[in-house]
Amino acid sequence: MPIVKIFGQSLRTTARKARLLAFLWPTYFLFAILISAPFYFLFQSHFSRSLMGEKLLTGMDILWLGDLVYRYQESTPLLLGWVLGTSLLFLVFAAFLNGGIIGRIAAGEERVTFPGFFGDCGRYFGRFFRVFLVSLAGYFLLAVVGRIASVPFRLWSKGASTEWTTLASSSLRLLVFLLLFSIVRMFFDYVKVALVSDDSRQVLRTTLRNFGFLGKRFFSAWSLFLLVGLIFILITLVYLTIAKMLPKTGIGPLLLFLWQQVYFLARLWTCVLFFATEYHFLKAHRTASQSNL
C-alpha cells in the first residue's frame, strides 16, 4: 500500500481516537504540576508579599531575576535533583502511557474509554519497559555511530578559515545525529507496535524479527516517520510565530498560556499520529506478505 494511503488512514484513525488526548493531556499536566509545585512554593515565599511579585514577567524589568538567582543559588543542586528524579520516574510512566496509546489504536473501531485506555497501559507496561531496556543498547550504538559519523565534520571544521564552515559543519553534524536518532526511535516504535499487534510477550524475538521487517521496507517506513516529524516541526513553527505576536502585558500572559496548551495538545496529537502510521504500515505490509504467500 502506498505511503500516502497509509498516511491518510492514520490520520483518520488519529481523528477517531482523539479521545486519547483527553487522557494524555491531563496526565502530562498533572505530572508537570507535581514537578513545578516546589518551585511555586519557593516563588510564593519570596515574592507573594512583595511589590516585586506584581512585576514578574510583565516585561517591565528583569531585576527580579537577579533576586531569584541570588536567593536560590545554594538550592540549585537540590532543585536539579528533584527535577532529575521526577524525570526518571516519568520515563517509566511514559512507557506505561505508550501501552494505552498503541493498545487503543490497535483496538480498531472500539471507542477510547478510561478503563480501556488504562487497561491497555497496564497490560503492555511490562513489555514496553523491557523494550526500553533493550533500546538502551540501541542508543549506545547510536552514540558510537554518531561519534564516528562526526569525525569528517570535525576534520572539516578544524581546517576552517571562516565561520561559515564551522556553522555548516555543526549544523550538518546535528542533522546527521537527528536522522540517526529517528532511525533508532522508529525501530523501537515498530517493536512496540508489533508486540501489541501480535499480542506477544517475546520482546527479544520481536526485536530481532523487526530487523527483517524494517530491513525490507526501510526507506518507505522512514519516509513515513519523517513525514510525521515534518508535521511536528511545522506545528512548532506556527506556535512560535503566533506566540511572538501575542501581547506581553495585560491579558497577554493568559493568552500565551492557553496557546501553549493548545500547542502541547498538538504535540500529543502528533505522538498519536506517529504510532498510528506505524501501526497501519505494519498491518498493511503484513497483510500484503500474507497475500503473497
Which one of 13-21, 95-103, 216-224, 277-285 is the stretch in contact with another protein (CB under 8 A)? 95-103
How many whole angstroms from its chain centre is CA 250? Answer: 32
Please give the residues from 270 up to 289 whose contact with another protein meets the rule CB under 8 A. 271
In angstroms, rounded to a whole number, what is the distance separating the alpha carbons of residues 13 and 241?
A: 29
The CA-based diameter of the chain, rounded to the nearest angstrom, is 76
Binding of residue 249 to another protein (CB under 8 A): no
The answer to whether 172 and 153 are in contact (CB under 8 A) is: yes
Nearer to another protein, 58 or 287 (CB): 58
Grid-cell match 498510528, residue found = 276
**Interacting residue with another protein among 114, 140, 211, 257 (CB under 8 A):** 257
Which residue, among 145, 211, 200, has the nearest Cα to 173 in the 3D structure? 145
In angstroms, rounded to a whole number, what is the distance separating the alpha carbons of residues 169 and 70?
A: 38
Question: Under DSSP, is residue 224 helix (H, G, I), strand (E, B) or coil?
Answer: helix
In angstroms, rounded to a whole number, what is the distance separating the alpha carbons of residues 92 and 129?
A: 7
Binding of residue 161 to another protein (CB under 8 A): yes
**Interacting residue with another protein among 7, 21, 23, 28 (CB under 8 A):** 28
Least distance between another protein and beta carbon 276 (Å):
16
Nearer to another protein, 79 or 151 (CB): 79
Please give the residues from 126 up to 155 whose contact with another protein meets the rule CB under 8 A. 128, 132, 135, 139
Least distance between another protein and beta carbon 2 (Å):
27
Please give the residues from 30 up to 49 whose contact with another protein meets the rule CB under 8 A. 31-33, 35-36, 39-40, 43-44, 46-49
Nearer to another protein, 15 or 178 (CB): 178
Nearer to another protein, 25 or 118 (CB): 25
**Interacting residue with another protein among 19, 55, 209, 217 (CB under 8 A):** 55
Spatial neighbors of 105 by CB under 8 A, at least 6 apart, are 13, 17, 272, 275, 276, 279
Binding of residue 66 to another protein (CB under 8 A): yes
Which one of 15-23, 70-78, 200-208, 216-224 is the stretch in contact with another protein (CB under 8 A)? 70-78
Binding of residue 177 to another protein (CB under 8 A): no
**Interacting residue with another protein among 95, 191, 214, 272 (CB under 8 A):** 95
Question: Under DSSP, is residue 293 helix (H, G, I), strand (E, B) or coil?
Answer: coil
Question: Under DSSP, is residue 18 helix (H, G, I), strand (E, B) or coil?
Answer: coil
- Write the DSSP symbol of residue 110: P
Long-range contacts of 58-65 (CB under 8 A, 24+ apart): 58/248, 58/249, 59/248, 59/249
Please give the residues from 189 up to 228 whose contact with another protein meets the rule CB under 8 A. none
